[in-house]
Structure 1
């Protein structure tokens, strides 16, 4: 690789890494407990144990469950109704108005068969929710999401530029070499090299899926405008219905329309997911992949009749698949432990990169030393100073 090309890639890697490192550390540290959100909720009692369904007992009427949830929060309106795929429990989100944002919602969790209201903490309260907001939008909403998405993209550029530089910088050393007997900085550099290349593929995937996830709100709004807008125009000028048809019957209609799928959640009119005049019954499959891919069934909320079964566009499918891939929650506890280990190794890469930056020398000196002596330097490091090694 020519000196000018080497220096260009070096500078790209250095500055993209430096700009995003502190924010990536924030994301890695907050993301670690989020991988185990469900398990932590069980251990802390934030998520109640749900008794198995009594043998032969039919599930409770959904309309009765919604009524019971509304009784918990007088004055609220129903927003979402959903099922837990791993226990016989359901949840109802309510709010003061149909467009209530998630931080202001109330949640009632009930046994799907007995109708018992379960003593669980609100999803938008507590330490885990604090970490979730810090991880996703640093408490400033969409601008925070987009900013963190930009940092994730810079991280991806840093990874690619580091991979380009890795070959020339490591050509004279065996993979995994740690030179501990020469200088502290050189030992840190070798450790940074090894951990960086080991976690490279995972870090790139998590960085890209994280960037995609930050676009969730704009993508959902685009889908609502593109597809739901078509159905909303049919009801233009008509007020939102005050008396709603049976939700239980609407769900039965959706099940009949998609017999190979089961309902995941239902959106009520006005929430943005199904327009102002429809229930949106979002169906999904029962495999680790298909349970993430929703098929909306729109039911007229006034008449209970099936209106449409719109296909999700490709960008929404990409979003839905990137979410579980980002947190590693589609393969059970073993995959979560793997995600956690890789997260810790990535934290080590970032910390070692900062150390190398503070112990840096000039760029020209470092590149000249690499070219002259053939000593390996890692493109994944934030600072290179082979000349400092003695």
Structure 2
């Protein structure tokens, strides 16, 4: 190995050591909280004590959304409707309600309906009031450490540091793997055995770790990215409505008709939710209807449709900017929830392997006298000097 190569690897060794040390504790947190989140849907169903849905034939038509929304308003006349979400996985409609159009989303109540009968099943208390479930706790720790946007940005930075640690680890392992063979575990000492295991497992999971790390960074940037979209593209579309006040709820057109219009406009997609006019998210003059693709490859790609809330006419089919498309692709890749239970199990196994990689790396650092990589580099340098 040339002297320049030794110097280059020594620099990579420093990068790998310090980026790994900086992010290890947080990556362990990511892995430990991410493991149950991979099976979040299954855990929610297992731990849920919510009333069951009516036992009806699979082809039972869905209830009219206008009737469901009207029931929600009767239940909470002091609130305004924020959104209605029609679940694809179970016969459920969630109606979110806020104390006012500009209220903090954390104050929202959610009313759960049977999508076929239109029956109100139960009411979910506001986020800040109801007790945290196990899955909620794992999600908050995984997403923002209960610190809101600052927590998300901090963890996003930790994810970026992790990506650098993974790349630098791959660069360091390549030349040594060529000499001793991939997967070789030397039993000279316990420490060397753990070093080789750490290196081997790190390389085995390198592609997965890069994907999960990079998509995790994207997910942590979701709030700023949506804020950029709201202030740029959405505001441009709303120029004709500037200076107009938000219509009164009594003048709103049929939400079911708006849903049907979105479905007819995009026949290769189907609507899944509608955001009512409000002063925080979406448009104060439109139903913002989110649609998703019908095919497996487009099921995670959402396209919004704007329908004038008074006239009920189509205003626009909104093309999402590249950064939000990237975010949409990142979410299923991060949790591995797009390929059913088999893929979730694979994701969980890779998560466990990553925990071993992180734990072994921490052990190697704590038990160090001199970093093994530095010893190897010194040996290489000495060999070069002797050959001169």
* TM-score, with structure 1 as normaliser: 0.89
SS class of match (1:312): coil
Q: Please list every run of 5 or more consecutive structure 1 residues that lacks an aligned counterpart in the other structure.
A: 375-390
What residue in structure 2 maps to residue 116 of structure 1?
A: 119
Post-superposition offset of 1:40: 0.6
The separation in 2 between residues aligned to 1:366 and 1:55, in whole angstroms, is 65
CA RMSD in angstroms comes to: 2.2
Would the aligned equivalents of 1:46 and 1:120 in 2 still touch at CA under 8 Å?
no
| In structure 2, C-alpha distance between the alignment counterparts of 1:46 and 1:345, rounded to whole Å | 33
Q: Using the alignment, how far apart are the partners of 2:382 and 2:126 within structure 1?
A: 59
Quick check: 1:277–1:300 contact (8 Å CA) kept in 2? yes
Shift of 1:87: 1.9
Distance in 2 between the 1:335 and 1:123 partners? 33
Going from structure 1 to structure 2, the CA distance change for 1:174 and 1:295 (only over 3 Å counts) comes to: same
**Change in CA separation of 1:330 and 1:4 when aligned onto 2, cut-off 3 Å:** same
1:344 correspondence with 2:347: no
**CA 1:258–1:187: 2 relative to 1, 3 Å:** same
Q: CA deviation at 1:100?
A: 3.9
The alignment status of 1:175 with 2:179, answered yes or no, reads no
- Retained in 1: the 8 A contact 2:109–2:124? no
**Deviation per residue, 1:27-47 (Å, 9 max, x gap):** 111111011011011111256
C-alpha distance in 2 between matches for 1:55 and 1:319: 33
Moved more, 31-40 or 360-369: 360-369
Map of 2:222 onto structure 1: 216
Count of matched residue positions in the alignment of Structure 1 and Structure 2? 373
Question: Structure 2: where are the runs of 5+ without partners?
Answer: none
Q: Which moved more, 1:52-61 or 1:201-210?
A: 52-61
What corresponds to 1:362 in structure 2?
370
Aligned to 1:226: 232
Alignment match, 2:147: 140
Range 322-331 or range 303-312, more displaced: 303-312
Q: CA deviation at 1:188?
A: 1.3
Of 284, 289, 294, the residue aligned with 1:281 is 289
After TM superposition, list the pairs within 5 Å mapping 1:147-296 onto structure 2.
147-180=154-187, 182-242=188-248, 243=250, 244-270=252-278, 272-296=280-304
How far the C-alpha of 1:55 sits from its partner, in A, is: 6.9
**For the Cα contact (< 8 Å) 1:16–1:154, is it kept in 2?**
yes
Equivalent in 39, 43, 48 of residue 46 of structure 2: 43
Q: Distance in 2 between matches of 1:121 and 1:334?
A: 31
Distance 2:180 2:123 in 1: 55
Q: TM-score with structure 2 length normalisation?
A: 0.90
Per the TM alignment, residue 273 of structure 1 is displaced from its structure 2 partner at its CA by 4.1
C-alpha distance 260-171 of structure 1, shift in aligned 2 (>3 A): closer
Provide the secondary structure at the position in 2 that maps to 1:78: strand
- Structure 2 distance, partners of 1:17, 1:47, is 43
